[in-house]
Amino acid sequence: MYQQNIQDIVQLQRDKYRENSYIEFQKRIELLTKVQDAIIKYEKEILNSLFLDLGKPVYEAQLSEVIFVQNEIRSIKKNLKKWMKKKKVKTPLIHFPAKSFIQSEAYGSVLIIAPWNYPFQLLFSPMIGAIAAGNRVVLKPSEISENTSHLVKKMIDEVFDKEYVACIEGGVKETTELLDSHFDYIFYTGNSHVGRIVMEKASKNLTPVTLELGGKSPTFVFGNSDLDLVAKRIISGKFFNAGQTCIAPDYILVDEDKYEELVDKLINYIEKFYGEVPSKSKDYGRIINESHFNRLLSLIETDSLLCGGNISSENKFIPPTLVSAKEGDQCMKDEIFGPILPIMKMENLKSAIDYVVKGEKPLAMYIFSNDSKVQEAILNRVSAGGVTVNDTLMHITNEHLPFGGVGTSGMGSYHGKNSFDLFSHQKSVFKASTVMDLPVKYPPYFGKIGLVRWLMRFFG
């Protein structure tokens, strides 16, 4: 189905890297500008393909895919010269007048594998970081978001010489062939099952990896808070992209005293945002495919339904769904990754924290409380990739915060300067002096160790 010579492209980038491993500042800017121009040229088609794949509302697509990437390119272009500069570091006096610095260098050819939920952003955001750091890039879009995959392939083929950036479409077969090839860095976003395959394959060539994975992201509602604002912010974060967001609030843990009031307010905001008939809302997406649709249906137990119903298999529509949950329920086992929001009442904050730390480390965590003691108690005990306090999703919007997981939710982090650092090897350089030459360094060593100790203590 996909006709591409994977090995030719991999070999081309490897050869070109060996010929010239350093891509100049001006060339990097030129490549980034090409991306900017292509986004402007293809903006309508990008929005359309995201609609065809996910029924993604134009506003959500603009915000989380197009504008997100455009902002990142602008910021990278503004700062790149500064980031590329060699960083001087101190050199111990004993080496005087030697100098030391750190030089950020490209790894070489980077493979970027993306999933289907933000199929444009999750390819382009790591790609621009890799280009900025001077790498060559092979992109592998998700075959599941097929319209975006075809469009990205068309854009990349049109804009780039394959020695710099190439796009390989395909599914398991093509990705496996790519993973069996020799890249200098692999950046994978997707589920942790495939994450393990990626890491295993990478280990063959000792290729460094970044794994951007998922998990169950908890939302705590404890202590003093404005429940109306809490509900508003949880609903907007959860049902963005119909819940198919890696950092969507996966479930809510709420103080039992606040349970009833919070449920009422959550339902109120579902209606306010998506109307009484959410299937008619222009601001609400669809489930990516039938298999995810069926997986999600199996998580809804009708006797625990607080809000929802009216599911339509025809256009893979599941309305914003709120369910009351208890430990051990099916919806509390794996990441939901869809528009189902379980809410579990807890006796107190300690029992909520104990519940979360029993599970895997989440990709994101949300704390709703104006009480700094509550915030600190959670922040100090629960490890998570990233946290937003008193809102949802917001930590991803600050490019100065590294974005990534921990434990089974991933390893490595990117965005803004962190992307440049992630895709750069920090090469340590020590420029020794040819003027001074301490005799204590050289054999015969007899009787010199005392002097070395003394020199190290006072000049080391």
Tally the C-alpha atoms within 13 A of residue 330's C-alpha that lie toward its C-beta.
10
d(C-alpha 210, C-alpha 208), whole Å: 7
200: annotated active-site residue: no
> CB 396 → ligand NAD: shortest distance, Å?
8
Q: Which is nearer to ligand NAD, 39 or 168 (CB)?
A: 168
Residue 9 interacts with ligand NAD (CB under 6 A): yes or no: no
d(C-alpha 171, C-alpha 28), whole Å: 30
Residue 252 interacts with ligand NAD (CB under 6 A): yes or no: no
Contacts with ligand NAD, 260-289, as mask; x by CB under 6 A: ------------------------------
> CB 144 → ligand NAD: shortest distance, Å?
5
Contacts with ligand NAD, 127-156, as mask; x by CB under 6 A: -------------x-xxx------------
- Mapped onto helix, strand or coil, the DSSP state of residue 448 is coil
> CB 89 → ligand NAD: shortest distance, Å?
32
167: annotated active-site residue: no
Residues in 306-335 that interact with ligand NAD by CB under 6 A: 335
Q: Which is nearer to ligand NAD, 214 or 237 (CB)?
A: 214
Q: Which residues lie below 8 Å from residue 271, measured CB to CB, with a gap of 6+? A: none
Contacts with ligand NAD, 222-251, as mask; x by CB under 6 A: ------------------------x-----
Name the residue number minimizing CB distance to ligand NAD: 214
Residues in 184-223 that interact with ligand NAD by CB under 6 A: 189-191, 194, 197, 212-214
Contacts with ligand NAD, 409-428, as mask; x by CB under 6 A: -x------------------
Residue 374 tokens read as 């509550």
Exposure string (b/e) for 54-92, b if CB count within 10 Å is 16 or more? bbbbeebbbebbbebbbebbebbbeebeebbeeeeeebe
Q: Which is nearer to ligand NAD, 255 or 335 (CB)?
A: 335
Active-site residue, from 65, 72, 246, 360: 246
Amino acid at the residue 430 = F
Where does 29-146 show beta strands of DSSP type E?
A: 87-89, 99-106, 109-113, 136-140
d(C-alpha 457, C-alpha 459), whole Å: 6
Q: Which is nearer to ligand NAD, 71 or 426 (CB)?
A: 71
Burial of 150 (0-12, 13-18, 19+ CB in 10 A): middle
Residue 114 interacts with ligand NAD (CB under 6 A): yes or no: yes
Query: Are 244 and 117 spatial neighbours (Cβ–Cβ below 8 Å)?
Result: yes
Phi, psi of 69 (to 5 degrees): -70, -40
Q: Which is nearer to ligand NAD, 38 or 111 (CB)?
A: 111
Query: CA of 118: how far to CAs of 53, 138, 238, 456, in Å?
Result: 10, 18, 15, 54
d(C-alpha 384, C-alpha 213), whole Å: 12
Residues in 154-183 that interact with ligand NAD by CB under 6 A: 171-172, 175-176
Active-site residue, from 60, 169, 212, 335: 212
Out of 134, 339, 405, 416, the only residue in the binding site for ligand NAD (CB under 6 A) is 405
Supply the Cα-derived Rg of the chain in whole angstroms.
25
Residues lying near ligand NAD in the complex (CB under 6 A) are found at 113-117, 122, 140, 142-144, 171-172, 175-176, 189-191, 194, 197, 212-214, 246, 335, 337, 363, 405, 410
Positions marked active-site: 212, 246
